[in-house]
Amino acid sequence: MCVELSARSVALQSEEGDVLDVTLHITDGSVECNIFHMASSQVEIDGAPAAWETDTCKYDCMELPCQHKFNACALALHFITNHMTCPLCRHGVQARMLLACAPENIKRLYLKHITQDQEGDLLEFQPEDFLRDLRLRADFMLCCTDAGDVVSLTTPCIPVHESDTQSTFRTHQSFRRHFNRILRNGTSKACRFSLLHPLIFMSLSSDFLSCDEICGYNFSLPHEIAQVCCTMQHDIVTTNMELNLAVLYSMCASTVMEFVDEN
How is the chain split into domains, by residue range? 4-115, 127-249
> Residue 162 has what pLDDT?
57
Q: Which residue has the higher pLDDT, 14 or 257?
A: 14
pLDDT of 169 > 60? The answer is: yes
| pLDDT tens per residue, range 125-154 | 555 666 777 888 888 887 765 545 778 888
161: left (phi over 0), alpha (psi -120 to 50) or beta: beta
Decide if 196 contacts 137 (C-beta within 8 A). Answer: yes
The SS3 assignment for 72 reads helix
Q: What is the pLDDT of residue 122?
A: 44
More confident residue, 212 or 23: 23
pTM (predicted TM-score) = 0.58
The CA distance from 115 to 239, in Å, is 33
Residue 66 scores a pLDDT above 90:
yes
